[in-house]
Structure 1
């Protein structure tokens, strides 16, 4: 089954695809994958894993949960290398109560190393359980645009496409109202997002609009040189959202740095209504 999530803005995490090549130093997912990998050299010789490779690089496919030589399930047998866990695809449909699901918390489904076919199958599994709300996140927002232009990005009310940014100069994907749902995840926030006019999108047909939803979180962990968010950084985001109608979700890990109210709003019904 899917994992009950400790992330405040979702109910479950669902990881039919794992692994990432962005190489972020603060990545909790990579640390967890490395911790629960077992003997990778031995694992890669197992017939349980199928190896694929093309111009996108090397990746792995797993039809069933991987078991090591003593029969113990190993969650990440190739550490944080790209892996498609096909056995996870039916999981949303098995959960009958409507929930908010974070899709691929242990990787980046839209990384350049992920083939379109993997993405298509994940979308298909989500579409088979339309009573849930699905949140997608990437640090490669251009892939959203490529898929949309190719007619491969589902335009559904229960699909939300997010971009992770940590600094205001990073690219993100935005869409006009009435097309695709989109949001920003500023986590970990590493600089002051003093929003200017560039964050407000002006359309000849849709008018003026801003990010519908902004999630903000602090850097966690005990690593050296960790960025400590300033209270005014959070306040600037709140002021922007109030001025332009954006919903904001401030994660609990901001509490040590921000004494104001930790606003935790959603842009959709929460808990989600049954759309099936």
Structure 2
């Protein structure tokens, strides 16, 4: 299970990543990987490039983790790769095929994939088959999922049944794909996301480091909003949150305010007090927020007002 407010379970078929933008500067996963390496966790023993990654945080695939969702019978929302980026350039295309085959084989779950590399997601998931028979976009990648369910295939995933290709629509109806965007400088990620086939497209504006007033939310279904937490956290202005909630609703996207961040909690609510003593170091307790920010909605579902 997980304490992440907008999901119910995490699944990490890969671990590790590389920082590529300011939103990565205080990456919680990088810090956690260093800790897990020190604890002897087998997944986190390979170091990444110190310029962009760190101890225990080299991009690594974990074939043994592929079958985990097959054992989860109860439907749940699953955040794919809380400790990595599924569309990192060093995740082999064949491994992506295996991941998508598992998701196709478990339609009871809803998978939430979050990437800072939506350009690669768009390229792969709109791939044109080179066989010359005129398959539509995505058909080549989708049909390769069937190969992962064939026992003599080098990409075979134990437990998958034949016929995945024929039993699923495209894009997979239980897969949501999102991109992280921290300020206007990375609006291009949203443009790439719009080109990516997905049942639900979403934005994670966390950590929100500036206004997103130059970002079009056309074609976006869900917007997660959050301030940065932890040592060295950068400030969030509630005006940015107000505007993003309004822009989301105007575009037909569901807003979900996750947290207001450590700086907001320290300087706005727990002024002169220890925020740790109140158990809200992330500014994540809606009962302390301005009323109009207490909103946590999901796409195509009834709004869940909190606080």
Give the TM-score normalised by structure 1. 0.74
Q: Which runs of 5+ in 2 are unaligned?
A: 47-55, 128-137, 143-169, 269-288, 303-307
Q: Which residue of 1 aligns with 2:6?
A: 9
Higher relative contact order (CA 8 A, sep 6+): 1
- Distance in 2 between the 1:129 and 1:253 partners? 34
What corresponds to 1:114 in structure 2?
A: 91
Q: Which residue of 2 aligns with 1:183?
A: 202
Superposition misfits of 4+ residues, deviation over 4 angstroms: 176-180
Q: How many residues align?
A: 223
2:98 is paired with a residue whose SS is: helix
Corresponding residue number in structure 1 for 2:296: 264
Displacement of 1:244: 2.0
Determine the C-alpha separation between the residues in 1 that align with 2:242 and 2:8: 27
| Structure 1 or 2: more strand by fraction | 1
After TM superposition, give the deviation of residue 268 of structure 1 in Å.
Answer: 4.5
Counterpart-to-counterpart distance in 2, 1:118 and 1:164 = 22
Deviations along 1:137-183, whole A, 9 cap, x unmatched?
11111011111221226512211110011112212233379964211
Aligned to 1:221: 230
**In the TM superposition, what is the alpha-carbon distance from 1:120 to its structure 2 partner?**
1.1
CA distance in 2, matches of 1:74, 1:158: 30
Deviates further, 89-98 or 178-187: 178-187
**1:87/1:231 CA distance change after superposition, 3 Å:** same
CA distance in 2, matches of 1:138, 1:177: 12
Structure 2 contact 174–199 (Cα < 8 Å) conserved: no
Root-mean-square deviation (CA), in Å?
2.4
| TM-score where L is the length of structure 2 | 0.67
Greater alpha carbon shift after TM alignment, 107-116 vs 169-178:
169-178
Give the structure 2 partner of residue 55 of structure 1.
Answer: none
